[in-house]
């Protein structure tokens, strides 16, 4: 079983969007029994809350469910529990590394470093642009699936 954790600041916009998109892709590829996906926050601000209404609305446009998703904070145990810990921006990656006491481990990386963009995923909580974030998340999830496939060969 391969386990993927997406992490952003609040776990209400970017990381739950990535979790939902990745789950949808994994399901469509028939890999649900092989790949599990979750998301978390570096902060404790939105623990127990559902994804942001903008995230829910954008995902609903594409028939992607957020049912049952609730915000949670990254925990020290996540390092052992997940094979890939993916920060949505550079600040998230730095916080993840500090929180998990893993300053250089390769399973912790910035999401879009797997794409030609090699930049942060903009936070739509601040930008209001859920479409831009969605497009980058889809591209990043496809790239991550390719990485997973290459890693297990």
User: Can you give the three-state secondary structure of 40-104, one letter per residue?
Assistant: EECCCCCCCCCCCHHHHHHHHHCCCCCCCCCCCECCCCHHHHCCEEEECCHHHHHHHHHHCCCCC
Give the active site residues. 8, 14, 123
What is the C-alpha separation between 2 and 89, in angstroms, rounded?
Answer: 22
Exposed, middle or buried by CB within 10 Å (0-12, 13-18, 19+), for 70? middle
Distance in angstroms (rounded) separating the CA atoms of residues 79 and 5: 10
* 138, 145 contact by CB (below 8 A): no
Question: Cα–Cα distance between 17 and 14 in angstroms, integer?
Answer: 5
């Amino acid at each position: 079983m391969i386990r993927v954790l997406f992490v952003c600041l609040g776990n209400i916009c970017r990381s739950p969007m990535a979790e939902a998109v990745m789950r949808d892709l994994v399901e469509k590829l028939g890999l649900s029994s092989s790949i599990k996906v979750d998301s978390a926050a570096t902060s404790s601000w939105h623990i127990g809350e559902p994804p942001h209404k903008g995230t829910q609305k954008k995902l609903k446009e594409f028939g992607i469910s957020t049912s049952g998703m609730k915000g949670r904070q990254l925990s020290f145990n996540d390092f052992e529990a997940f094979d890939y810990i993916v920060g949505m921006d550079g600040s998230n990656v730095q916080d993840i590394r500090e929180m998990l006491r893993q300053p250089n481990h390769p399973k912790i990386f910035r999401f879009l470093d797997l794409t030609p963009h090699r930049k942060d995923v903009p936070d739509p909580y601040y930008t209001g642009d859920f479409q831009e974030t969605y497009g980058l998340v889809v591209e990043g999830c496809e790239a991550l699936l390719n990485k997973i496939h290459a890693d297990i060969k």
